[in-house]
Amino acid sequence: MALRYLKKAPKTAATDAGETRRIVQKILDEIEQGGDKAARKYALELDKYDGNIVLTRDEIEAASAQVPQRLQDDIRFAHDNVQRFARAQRDSLRDFSVELIPGLTTGQRAIPCRSVGCYVPGGRYSHVASAIMTVTTAKVAGCQNITACSPPRPGVGINPAIIFTADLCGADRILSLGGVQGIAAMAYGLFGSPPADILVGPGNQFVAEAKRILFGRVGIDMFAGPTDSLILADSGADPMLVAADLVGQAEHGYNSPVWLLTDDQALADKVLALVPRLIADLPEVNRMNADAAWRDYAEVILCADREEMASASDDYAPEHLTVQAADPDWWLNRLQCYGSLFLGEETTVAFGDKASGPNHVLPTSGAARYTGGLSVHKYMKLVTWQRATREGARPIAEATARISRLEGMEGHARTADIRLKKYFPDTSFDLDVAK
């Protein structure tokens, strides 16, 4: 059966992409030319901030002292879970060596990137949890030089809880800069920071586009832009929990899609009735975000059965995927495209967002078709090495000479010839390509 849209979105992640690209490219170009001064200009223009950019130790201590003890304890609890999950990831990655043929030993090493730039979003909300996710994971990976940046609030600076968290998790430097200017400062090495080898962290469409444009010149974790979330629910799901979870993630921003796929029309109807009520009950900023996201980006789709639900879900490749349906193991085995999966109503996306351990920096806008979320592995380069004895080199050199000649690469072939001649002077080799 064809999917039946009970609610179809007029907008998608591609809406306004060209305009975003134009804006971001202009800011990047200006900051590359103008350095610190141009970055400061944008901090003033976009975030109404002209204060100190690189936080001093005194400023960090003063900000930390403003964070109430219980909140500090909660942040430490979340940090501990994220750290333990990241350590398990690091331990799943191992160096190895293998003798492929006698005398030829090859190997893999995982080497952490030296210099990391962590973006911590802070425009609409104060994303303390994002500081935990990016900085902690870089630290566990073994990165030596970690810079974090986050948008200052007008005239005041970064939210104190973000400063406390970035420092707790191991940031070596904190910059009061948001958006494209923050990303540019870390990529280009402004304000005395070393240029980043890799930029990580989530952000709005401007931040995500800046990372995308800079990719190649620096590494990036992935395209982690406006949050999106999909729920798979069957007739056994609790409509109130489904509706609350959709609204919970729609509050991220006016462009944060939420999608519901179900094989039960009665459930869909109840959720469709509940969502506007839950949105109306939110505080003002959250309500405005969720209202626009629901109106412009949300979809509710009726499917024939769970197989059709799973297949359609893989096409969306959502950042967050929640299953509120029977037989969680079936879904775990069947689903293939998502950033992070939440099985059963006892867990929910917000748990992963804030405290449970698996990273919340995740691929958006369909990027989950080809990548997972932020992990220790994203900060590590998997490099290879090889060494050989003269006997081990012999068959490799023979094959190399002939393959190189077949390709027309005579210079390559001669690097093999010269070794065979040196190591086996009394042997003659047929190193020509067969005519």
Ligand X SMILES: O=C(O)[C@@H](O)CS(=O)(=O)O
Q: Strand 173-176 to strand 219-220: parallel, antiparallel, or no bridges (unpaired)? A: unpaired
Phi, psi dihedrals of residue 361, rounded to the nearest 5°: -80, 110
Pick from 53, 7, 318, 311: nearest CA to 176:
53
By the rule CB under 6 A, 364 interacts with ligand NAI: yes
Q: Say if CB 164 and CB 72 are below 8 A apart.
A: yes
Q: Which of 320, 346, 360, 410 is flagged as catalytic?
A: 320
By the rule CB under 6 A, 23 interacts with ligand NAI: yes
Task: For residue 314, say whether it is annotated as part of any ligand binding site.
Answer: no
Pick from 188, 186, 93, 89: nearest CA to 145:
186
CA atoms of 192 and 190, how far apart (whole Å): 5
Question: Which residues, 312 to 331, sit near ligand X by CB under 6 A?
Answer: 319
HSE-up of 371 (CA within 13 Å, CB side)?
Answer: 17
By the rule CB under 6 A, 207 interacts with ligand NAI: yes
Q: Kindly state the number of chain residues that form the binding site for Zn ion, as judged by CB under 5 A.
A: 1
| Nearer Cβ to ligand X (161/303) | 161
Strand (E) positions, 145-214? 145-150, 173-176, 198-200
Q: Which of these ranges, 66-74, 124-132, 290-298, 306-314, lies near ligand X under the rule CB under 6 A? A: 124-132
Contacts of 180 by beta carbon, 8 Å cutoff, 6+ apart:
24, 27, 28, 31, 42, 206, 207, 210
Question: Which residues, 66 to 95, sit near ligand NAI by CB under 6 A?
Answer: none
Q: Which of 319, 360, 391, 398 is flagged as catalytic?
A: 319
Question: x-or-dash pattern for ligand X, window 182-221, by CB under 6 A?
Answer: --------------------x-------------------
Q: Which of 221, 319, 353, 417 binds Zn ion (CB under 5 A)?
A: 353
319 noted as active-site residue: yes
CA dist 314 → 90, 255, 262, 398 (Å): 28, 21, 14, 47
| Nearer Cβ to ligand NAI (200/242) | 200
Q: Kindly state the number of chain residues that form the binding site for ligand NAI, as judged by CB under 6 A.
A: 30
377 noted as active-site residue: no
| Number of Cβ atoms within 10 Å of the Cβ of 102 | 11
CA atoms of 60 and 68, how far apart (whole Å): 15
By the rule CB under 6 A, 166 interacts with ligand NAI: no
| Nearer Cβ to Zn ion (353/417) | 353
CA atoms of 240 and 278, how far apart (whole Å): 9
Task: For residue 119, say whether it is annotated as part of any ligand binding site.
Answer: yes
Q: Which of these ranges, 139-147, 343-351, 357-365, 417-425, lies near ligand NAI under the rule CB under 6 A? A: 357-365
CA atoms of 331 and 108, how far apart (whole Å): 34
| Nearer Cβ to ligand NAI (262/313) | 313
CA atoms of 257 and 121, how far apart (whole Å): 18
CA atoms of 412 and 253, how far apart (whole Å): 55
By the rule CB under 6 A, 360 interacts with ligand X: yes
By the criterion CB under 6 A, which residues form the site for ligand X?
127, 129-130, 202, 227, 252, 319, 353-354, 360, 362
Q: Which residues contribute to the annotated binding site for NAD(+)?
A: 119, 181, 204
Q: Report, as residue numbers or ranges, the catalytic residues.
A: 319-320
Residue positions in the annotated binding site for substrate?
A: 227, 249, 252, 320, 353, 407, 412
The footprint of ligand NAI (CB under 6 A) covers 23, 46-47, 121-125, 127, 130, 151, 178-180, 202-204, 206-207, 224, 226-227, 252-253, 256, 319, 360-362, 364
